[in-house]
Amino acid sequence: MLLNKSNMEIRTITQHNFPEVTEIYKQGLATNMATFQNDMPQWKEWDKGHLVFCRISIYENNKMLGWTALTPISSRCVYTGVAEVSVYIAENERGKGIGKILLNELIIQSEANGIWTLQSGIFSENQGSIMLHEKCGFRLVGFREKIGKKNGVWKDNVLMERRSKTIGWN
């Protein structure tokens, strides 16, 4: 199915639309290849854990199709320009190019906010996410074998990053 981008709208994630975020997140959890998390975060926990900018959702006809957000990788000031990417697409919307729209918007907004490096740790079996990141300019920088367990199963992590071509080079 082709996307009708004219019906799509980028919106900021807020407490108001957070229930839609958690519904899509729950669908990602069900795959067992999106995150080590097993629990649904509450708004206050999620809000505190993510940067105040780059909280991006995409809607079509008032229905959230997916979202992306950034988490700081460290509280140390030298890493203020480095953030970890989360991107989740509604189960029925995967494979339609929505992730690419979201990730490209995240790149634009992150650079506007001084982020010079975006990084992602992706389960090695999540080939769709790996390909999405590659299409958006991320490169493979490492592989972490059996880095943690998800429901008793060891998981490998592919480490990917995207370095800005305009931020951080001064």
User: For the chain, which residues make up each domain, given as ranges?
Assistant: 7-163
pLDDT of residue 2: 43
CA 55 to CA 39: how far, in whole Å?
A: 20
CA distance 22 to 40: 7
| Angle between helices 98-112 and 127-135 in degrees, nearest 10 | 50
Give me the tens of pLDDT residue by residue for the chain, a chain 170 residues long: 445 566 899 999 999 999 999 999 999 999 988 888 888 899 999 999 999 999 999 999 999 999 999 999 988 877 789 999 999 999 999 999 999 999 999 999 999 999 999 999 999 999 999 999 999 999 999 999 999 998 899 999 999 999 999 886 65
Those residues whose C-beta lies under 8 Å from the C-beta of residue 64, and which sit 6 or more positions away, are 17, 20, 21, 23, 24, 57, 58, 90
d(CA 120, CA 129): 10
What is the topology classification, in CATH, of domain 7-163? Answer: Aminopeptidase (3.40.630)
